[in-house]
Chain A
Amino acid sequence: MSALVELAWLIVAFPLAGALLLLMLGRRLGEPASGWLATCAMGGSFVATLLVFGGLLAHDATERQQVVTLFEWVPAGNLAVDVGFLVDPLSVTMALFITGVGALIHLYSIGYMHKDEGFARFFTYLNLFAFSMLMLVLSDNLLLTFLGWEGVGACSYLLISFWFTEDANASAGKKAFVTNRVGDWGFLVAMFLAFLTFGSLQYGEMFFEVESNGVAASTASGIVVLLLVGAAGKSAQFPLHVWLPDAMAGPTPVSALIHAATMVTAGVYLLVRMNPLLAEAHGWVPDLIMWVGLATALMAATIAVAQNDIKKVLAYSTVSQLGFMFVAVGSGAYVAAIFHMVTHAFFKALLFLGAGSVIHSMDGDQDMRRYGGLTRLLPLTSWAFVAGWLAIAGVPPFSGFWSKDEILAYTYGENRLAWFLLLCTAVLTAFYMTRLVLLTFYGSPRWSSDASSATTTDNTASDNTISNNTATDNTASDGTASDNTAGAALPERHPHESPWLMTVPLVLLAGLAVVAGLLNLPFSSDLHFLEKWLSPALYGNAAHVPFGGGTKWVLGIVAVLGSGVGVAAGVAVYLRNRISPDRIEHPFLVRAWRIDEMLANFMGGPGHKAFQRTAQFDQQVIDGVVNATGTTARRAGTLLRSFQNGMVRSYALFVAVGALALMVWFIARAGM
């Protein structure tokens, strides 16, 4: 093993050290030193990842799976868990984009969080998050992955409710936490089942067991389905997706880092990591994963069409794109899933950071109906944003096209109906992103009284749309309100380009979003860099496209046409005003298919009763046992207390009695 690979511990050590230092010194360092410290920690981590990457490249493809064990963590009988890192192409790929994108977002945050009271606290959380995420990705066993899994969940909670003085933010954090717990339950039970089956939680040992002794298909299916529950929770898949749109209450860099680029992809990572088990499961399990992903992708895309909050659109878009990745995993296209994960990390982080830049310049207003025509005022932001838009919309040669097209191709091979629905989703994606870009950067300005006076013919504007808060406008009345609503009392605004700290990451990410497609170009097998690189981690379980180049070309062209249709429709509706947006932005969609209401009704009705029963059981049986234990202990204590009389001579007598008992025991054993 080369010395460079051994450096894997440095990758996680940097952010951990950063978080600890900030925890101790954060307040004293203040702004901007604490931000720079955190950014340097991420930069160091990125460099370390590059070194490990280099070390891994130096190995032959067959030896690109190295375990770096730091120490024994849980030595408990049969269960032996080490703190160790599995350095293989999959984990290093993840670590590369986590640290790379993470470092850029840290840099951006220095500008974005300027003059915020919790500046140092923000970076402490951010570094802690990076540490947990890297633990999750690099760990060589399920338990350590779970540690990172819970760690990112906790950091996500802390960061969503970062501005906790607002009630809405605090409850959004709680919602994310509770929803994630449902998924965590699945992960935990899957872990127990895996330990029961394989007697180990280490990936290498589990997969070796699968390979050498095989595993019952039903067991593998059980583990994978439970993991799917966990993954659905973390990656916001139906029906556990409800937390992610609300998670946008956190600061925008957090949305970019955690709720778009890294944490939410953990579920996809987990499923890809466990691919040997997926291969052993019943045939319906991958189908289940695919249909869950597909349902999520389609549903979220339709919801995104009708949202007015810029971050909500991006949030639903993220849910939808994660659905794409699940479809890829379900089709066995692991490479495509990781490929899309990487490109998505670039362009979605870019879009969120761009949105953050816009929100920053609009003094915190997130309602797109009060944007418009910003391209002249925010040139850098808008150009970067346009790159991200074209990438996600699937316009060649931007990165999103290549990864999305690959997923579509694999799905076509798997199931034609799924392919068609996924194509519709892609069209919708292009449509809602076009809508977002046009409403924000083009058209006439609607953000100040001066600018809008010329275009305002609408006097029905109600006061509630003027409110300048960042909360979401999810009510039906807002949805039906005309999108060029402008009250007379809009505050004076001077949109301006963001400082260089914020634009530099934007430009870098835009560049990545444009060229990331080079990772895995479909034209020739020589250009499948990612596929070849990842193959050691996939154990030959990856699916192969079952048709030739001709079909591929046709599919590609269909996909491009789909994007074109989406973009054109967007332009027709929102720039040319051919169709009234009201006919598209249906209240049902604005309210996100009423899933929140349905969940609330269920939990308030039958669910509530079930919980009451459980609570009753808990009070009477579980608490009864616990209380009985306590009572017994107290009675025993009262009894024993009488021996503790303070008389030295009594104590001596007790010792003598004990010694006598020991003597009897030993002599009896000696066989007298």
Chain B
Amino acid sequence: MVTSSWYLILAAAVFTIGAVGLMVRRNPLIMFMCVELMLNAVNLTFITFARDFADISGQVAVLFVLVVAAAEVVVGLAIVVAINRRWPLATADDLSELRG
């Protein structure tokens, strides 16, 4: 029998992989994908708890996360495109212009 703990640990693993990926990869597109991984991990926990507590609100929260993730990807990719136009082949490390 699969308990909730399994789902949660799987989500934690995916989240960790996403977070480490965000920190070690330099390609902005891949960094975005890692963010998506982290968001998905969170979604998975939401849905697990929704079933645990028999509360539909968890699923609604996932719906919102989906929408926000979509918006984030749209804006983020637009930024990537805009940056690429100015500095082709830039990595995240090259973009330290905003340093104080």
| Chain A residues close to B by CB (< 8 Å) | 641, 644-649, 652-653, 656
Cβ B23 vs Cβ A646 within 8 A? no
Q: Inside 8 A of B23's CB, which chain A residues have their CB? A: 649, 652-653, 656
On whether the beta carbons of B99 and A648 are closer than 8 Å, the reply is: no
In the complex, A648 Cα to B96 Cα: how many Å?
Answer: 8
27 chain-A/chain-B pairs, Cβ below 8 angstroms: A641-B100, A644-B99, A644-B100, A645-B96, A645-B99, A646-B95, A646-B97, A646-B98, A646-B99, A647-B93, A647-B96, A648-B31, A648-B92, A648-B93, A648-B95, A649-B22, A649-B23, A649-B24, A649-B31, A649-B92, A649-B93, A652-B19, A652-B22, A652-B23, A653-B23, A656-B19, A656-B23
Residue of chain A at shortest CB distance from B28 = A648
A568 to B26, CA, bound (A): 104
Distance between A637 CB and nearest chain B CB, rounded to angstroms = 11
**Which residues of chain B are near A646, meaning CB under 8 Å?**
95-99
State the B residues within 8 Å of A (CB). 19, 22-24, 26, 31, 92-93, 95-100
In the docked arrangement, what's the CA distance between A641 and B24, Å? Answer: 22
Closest residue of chain A to B99 (Cβ to Cβ) is: A646
CA of A653 to CA of B97, assembled, Å = 19
Min Cβ gap A70→B in Å is 43
Q: For B96, what are the chain A residues with a Cβ–Cβ distance below 8 Å?
A: 645-647
| Interfacial chain B residues near A641, Cβ < 8 Å | 100
**Chain A binding site: helix, strand, loop or mixed by DSSP?**
helix
B100 CB contacts on chain A under 8 angstroms: 641, 644
- In the bound complex, residues from chain A placing their C-beta under 8 Å from that of B19 are 652, 656
Point out the residues of chain B lying under 8 angstroms from A645, CB to CB.
96, 99
With a cutoff of 8 Å between Cβ atoms, the chain B residues found around residue A653 in the complex are: 23
> CB-nearest residue of chain A relative to B22?
A652
Known contacts A652-B22, A656-B19, A656-B23; is A647 also within 8 Å of B97 by CB? no
Min CB distance B75 to A, Å, is 16
CA distance A648 to B19 in the complex (A): 13
A646 CA to B93 CA, complexed, in Å = 8
Bound-complex Cα distance A647 to B22 (A): 12
Residues of B within 8 A of A652 (CB): 19, 22-23
User: When chains A and B are docked, how far (Å) is the Cα of A646 from the Cα of B98?
Assistant: 6
**Bound CA–CA A648/B25 (angstroms):** 11
A23 to B31, CA, bound (A): 57
A656 to B21, alpha carbons, bound, how many Å? 12
B contact residues around A647 at 8 Å (CB): 92-93, 96
For the A-B complex with A647-B96, A649-B23 known, give 14 more contacts whose Cβ atoms are closer than 8 Å: A644-B100, A645-B96, A645-B99, A646-B99, A647-B93, A648-B31, A648-B93, A648-B95, A649-B26, A652-B19, A652-B22, A653-B23, A656-B19, A656-B23
Give complex CA distance A649, B22 in Å: 7
Q: CA–CA, A645 to B93, complex, Å?
A: 10
Find chain A residues with CB under 8 A from B98 CB.
Answer: 646
The distance from the CB of B33 to the nearest CB of chain A, in whole angstroms, is 14
Chain B CB within 10 Å, residue with most, of A641, A644, A652, A653: A652
A486 to chain B, nearest CB (A): 78
Nearest CB of A to B34, in Å = 10
Closest to A659 in B: B19
Q: In the assembly, what is the distance between CA of A509 and CA of B97, in Å?
A: 74
Contacts of A649 in B (CB 8 A): 22-24, 26, 31, 92-93
Determine the chain A residues whose CB is within 8 A of the CB of B22 once the complex forms.
Answer: 649, 652
- How many Å from the CB of A634 to the closest CB on chain B? 15
Tell me the nearest residue of chain A to B34, going by C-beta: A652
Complex-state Cα separation, A644 to B19, whole angstroms: 20
Q: How far is the CA of A507 from the CA of B99 in the complex (A)?
A: 74
Closest B-chain residue to A656, C-beta based?
B19
Complex-state Cα separation, A646 to B97, whole angstroms: 7
Give complex CA distance A648, B95 in Å: 8
Q: How far is the CB of A164 from chain B (nearest CB, A)?
A: 45
Q: Which 8 A-B pairs have the closest CB atoms?
A: A646-B96, A646-B99, A644-B100, A648-B92, A652-B23, A653-B23, A652-B22, A649-B23
User: Which residues does chain A contribute within 8 Å of B95, judged by CB atoms?
Assistant: 646, 648
Shortest Cβ distance from B97 into A: residue: A646
Residue of A nearest to B24 (CB): A649
A653 to B92 alpha-carbon distance, docked (Å)? 14
Q: Closest CB of chain B to A656's CB: distance in Å?
A: 6
| A647 vs B31: C-alpha distance when bound (angstroms) | 13
Within the complex, the shortest CB–CB distance from B32 to chain A, in Å, comes to 12
CA distance in complex: A652, B92 (Å) = 12
Give, as a whole number of angstroms, the nearest-CB distance from B95 to chain A. Answer: 7
CA distance A648 to B76 in the complex (A): 14
Q: CA–CA, A357 to B43, complex, Å?
A: 86
Cα A524 to Cα B9 in complex, Å, equals: 96
Residue in chain B with minimal CB distance to A653: B23
**B7–chain A nearest beta-carbon distance, Å:** 19
Chain A: CB-nearest residue to B16: A656
Give chain A nearest CB distance to B70 CB in angstroms.
Answer: 22
Min distance, Cβ A648 to any Cβ of chain B, angstroms: 5
Q: What's the nearest-Cβ distance from chain B to residue A642, in Å? A: 11
Nearest CB in chain A: distance from B93 CB, A: 6
Complex alpha-carbon distance, A154 and B22, angstroms: 61
Bound together, the chains give a CA A649 to CA B21 distance in angstroms of 10
Nearest CB of chain A from residue B99's CB, rounded to whole Å = 3
Give the docked Cα–Cα distance between A641 and B22 (Å).
23
CB distance from B31 to the nearest CB of A (A): 8
CB B96 to nearest CB in A, in angstroms, measures: 3
CB distance from A606 to the nearest CB of B (A): 53
CB distance from A661 to the nearest CB of B (A): 15
Q: B83 CB to closest chain A CB, in angstroms?
A: 12
User: Closest residue to B98 on the A side, CB-wise?
Assistant: A646
- Cα A648 to Cα B31 with chains together (Å): 10
Shortest distance between the CB of B37 and any CB in chain A (Å): 14
Min CB gap B41→A, angstroms: 14
Closest to A641 in B: B100
Residues of the A chain whose Cβ atoms lie less than 8 Å from the Cβ of B24 = 649
Q: How far is the CB of A596 from the nearest CB of chain B, in Å?
A: 57
What distance in Å separates the Cβ of A636 from its nearest Cβ neighbour in chain B?
15
Docked Cα-Cα span, A645 to B96, in Å, equals: 7
CA distance A36 to B93 in the complex (A): 68
Of all chain B residues, which has the CB nearest A648? B92
A667 to nearest B CB, angstroms? 13
For B97, the chain A residues whose CB sits under 8 A away are: 646
The docked-state distance in angstroms from the alpha carbon of A641 to that of B26 is: 23
Which has the most chain B C-beta neighbours within 10 Å: A641, A644, A647?
A647
* Residues of B contacting A644 in the complex (Cβ-Cβ under 8 angstroms): 99-100
Least distance between B40 CB and chain A CB atoms (Å): 18
State the Cβ distance, B45 to closest chain A Cβ, in Å.
Answer: 14
In the bound complex, CA of A668 to CA of B97 (Å): 40
In the assembled complex, the Cα of A646 lies from the Cα of B26 at a distance in Å of 14
| Assembled-state Cα–Cα distance A645/B92 (Å) | 12
B12 to chain A, nearest CB (A): 11
